Amino acid sequence: MSRIHFVSVLFALAFVGLPTFAQSPEQQIAALKAENNQLSEQLFKTRNDLLSVQTEVVKTRIELKNLTSEYDLAKELADVDSDYIDIVNNLQSQKEKLDTLLSLKSRLLSQRETELNEISAQIEQNEKQLEVFAVRYGIDINAVPKPTPTPSPAPSPSETANNKRTSPPTKPEKQERQQKPIYTEPIVPDEPKVVNAPTRGRFSTTKYEFGELFPTFIEITSADNQFNLGVSETEITVEQFKLFQKEARYRTESQRSGGCNIFDYETKNDRTANSDSPGYRQSDSHPIVCISMFDAIKYTKWLSKKLNRTVRLPTRSEWFTFSTPHEMAALEKENGMARNCLHANIRDHAFAGRFGDDSSEICNDSSVNAEPVKLKLPNSLGLYNLYGNVREWTMSCRDDSIKNLWVCPSVHIAGGSAYYKLDPRKETRGGPDGVGNDVGFRVVYEL
């Protein structure tokens, strides 16, 4: 074939659209992973927006319910005393405004839920495509790809000569990169992100974020420097615990034995229930439940290595210090029980409506079981869900003489849950290998 004919063939192929510079499988995988990283950041932001709007909706519903009660009472009084007519009209006007506000916030909540579902669907689609690449090309998609070099001007002859003398990566090094397991890269920054450092009364607090894959911590220091502890902002969530399970290939005791104590007005053991299926629908932002104290300890040991800190369960004394029960008791006394649902997911009207039980709080947040974290107001130290939602494991044995938790027959479980009325000093007990669908945990680290 003549040189002219060969060039003509190349031109014809280019003209009909033959991709002469198609991306390699590795480049396509890197692009998909980069897209998923961006989507994950967007997912995290949208989830936070969603939770914020959910909180606003709950507050508005409670306010509207209380206002409706006042309106109904005033209307009854107006039937016998015309002096109450102005009050009825005023309350009616307030109700209409709240109804409009609730409608707007509910619509915004629906939009956020749609956005969250769309982003999640795109991430799932990308991950399926990554699996296809892994099977089709035999590539380890968990290996960290080389960064794509930035295009640069054509090298000079001397640079070209120098590049030829540079040795390429050796084969053993390439194999080592491909054999690295997932998450072994430094996904936790050397220095966590400091969000704020306010002072609250006799405690000073600093908020540290280690990234969306790990708990956010509030570092708490007392004025006398006798209390120094980093406390997870919320109970450990389903998403956070599943990351540990995925990397450590860990199965909880309820998954291995197939059983969890389920509350359905009375507590009973359900052999089909476990940490994946606790008897009610749960999302990634729900607190993880149906886990034993031993499961929780396994998580703390894994997280200690990730954060390069001594992470553990709190003691009973520590828990009742950072939960500030005296503050919640003072709030209840000042504001009344009707506002307790702003601070805690507890045994309320929703519970009474489900089980026909009138021994409940007079507020209503529409939650019967545990709900996603951070839907209630935090305490003065910035910690969420201390007074309800789920009970929390501590590392304190009820028998002080027993120091080895593995042989402790009964452990302090701090706080109440969605199945209890509000009691800031509530605590229960249980065997460390027991599991229930209203028992979770939060973690602390030593400063």
Instruction: For residues 317-324, give the mean pLDDT.
Output: 95
Q: How confident is the model at residue 180 (pLDDT cuts 50, 70, 90)?
A: very low
- Mean model confidence pLDDT for the chain: 79
Least confident range from 79-83, 232-236, 361-365, 440-444: namely 79-83
| CA dist list (Å): 269 to 145, 173, 262, 423 | 47, 52, 6, 26
Three-state secondary structure along the chain? CCHHHHHHHHHHHHHCCCCCCCCCHHHHHHHHHHHHHHHHHHHHHHHHHHHHHHHHHHHHHHHHHHHHHHHHHHHHHHCCCHHHHHHHHHHHHHHHHHHHHHHHHHHHHHHHHHHHHHHHHHHHHHHHHHHHHHHHHCCCCCCCCCCCCCCCCCCCHHHHHHHHHCCCCCHHHHHHHHHCCCCCCCCCCCCCEEEECCEECCEEEEEEECCCCCCCEEEEEECCCCCEEEEECCCCEHHHHHHHHHHHCCCCHHHHHCCEEEEECEEEEECCCECCECCCCCCCCCECCCCCHHHHHHHHHHHHHHHCCCEECCCHHHHHHHCCHHHHHHHHHHHCHHHHHHCCCCCCHHHHHHHCCCCCCCCCCCCCCCCCCCCCCCCCCCCCCCCCCCEEEEEEECCCCCCCHHHCCCEEEECCCCCCCCCCCCEEEECCCCCECCEECCCEEEC
pLDDT in tens, 104-131: 888 888 888 788 778 877 887 887 777 7
Instruction: For residues 284-307, give the mean pLDDT.
Output: 95
Separation CA 240–CA 302 (nearest Å):
12
Instruction: For residues 133-149, give the mean pLDDT.
Output: 58
Residue 412 identity (one-letter amino acid): H
Q: Return phi, psi of residue 379, to 5°.
A: -80, -175
Q: How confident is the model at residue 157 (pLDDT cuts 50, 70, 90)?
A: very low
Instruction: For residues 127-151, give the mean pLDDT.
Output: 60
Q: Can you name the residues that pair with 219 across neighbouring β-strands?
A: 206, 230
- 389 closest CA partner among 404, 371, 411: 371
Separation CA 258–CA 443 (nearest Å):
25
Separation CA 62–CA 1 (nearest Å):
84
Neighbouring residues of 292: CB distance < 8 A, sequence distance ≥ 6? 252, 253, 254, 432, 433, 434, 435
At 38 the pLDDT is: 84
> Residue 55: is its pLDDT beyond 70?
yes
Instruction: For residues 419-440, give the mean pLDDT.
Output: 92
Q: How confident is the model at residue 317 (pLDDT cuts 50, 70, 90)?
A: very high
Residue ranges per structural domain of the chain: 25-137, 193-446
> Residue 177: is its pLDDT beyond 80?
no
> Residue 57: is its pLDDT beyond 90?
no
> Residue 21: is its pLDDT beyond 70?
no
> Residue 173: is its pLDDT beyond 60?
no
Instruction: For residues 40-57, give the mean pLDDT.
Output: 75
Q: Give, rounded to a whole angstrom, the gap between the first and last alpha carbons of the chain.
A: 77
At 357 the pLDDT is: 80
> Residue 139: is its pLDDT beyond 90?
no
325's tokens = 């029960």
At 22 the pLDDT is: 65
- Give the homologous superfamily in CATH for domain 193-446: paralog of FGE (formylglycine-generating enzyme) (3.90.1580.10)
| 65 neighbors 364 (Cβ within 8 angstroms) | yes
| 289 neighbors 437 (Cβ within 8 angstroms) | yes
pLDDT in tens, 196-245: 545 456 889 999 998 888 999 999 999 888 899 999 999 999 999 999 99
User: How far is C-alpha 411 from the chain's CA centre?
Assistant: 26
> Residue 134: is its pLDDT beyond 80?
no
Count of CB atoms within 10 A of residue 84's CB?
Answer: 17
Separation CA 100–CA 98 (nearest Å):
5
> Residue 161: is its pLDDT beyond 90?
no
> Residue 7: is its pLDDT beyond 50?
no
At 301 the pLDDT is: 96
> Residue 9: is its pLDDT beyond 70?
no
At 193 the pLDDT is: 64
| 198 neighbors 378 (Cβ within 8 angstroms) | no
Separation CA 414–CA 313 (nearest Å):
11
| 71 neighbors 95 (Cβ within 8 angstroms) | yes
Q: Return phi, psi of residue 191, to 5°.
A: -120, 120
State pTM to two decimals: 0.59
Separation CA 40–CA 364 (nearest Å):
33
* Of residues 257 and 301, more confidently modeled: 301
- 234 closest CA partner among 222, 246, 213, 217: 217
At 242 the pLDDT is: 96
At 228 the pLDDT is: 93
pLDDT in tens, 353-400: 888 887 788 888 888 999 999 999 999 999 999 999 999 999 999 998
| CA dist list (Å): 351 to 29, 344, 364, 420 | 49, 13, 9, 10
Instruction: For residues 397-417, give the mean pLDDT.
Output: 90
Share of the chain above pLDDT 90, in %: 37
pLDDT in tens, 237-294: 999 999 999 999 999 999 988 789 998 888 888 888 999 999 999 999 999 999 999 9
Separation CA 189–CA 209 (nearest Å):
10
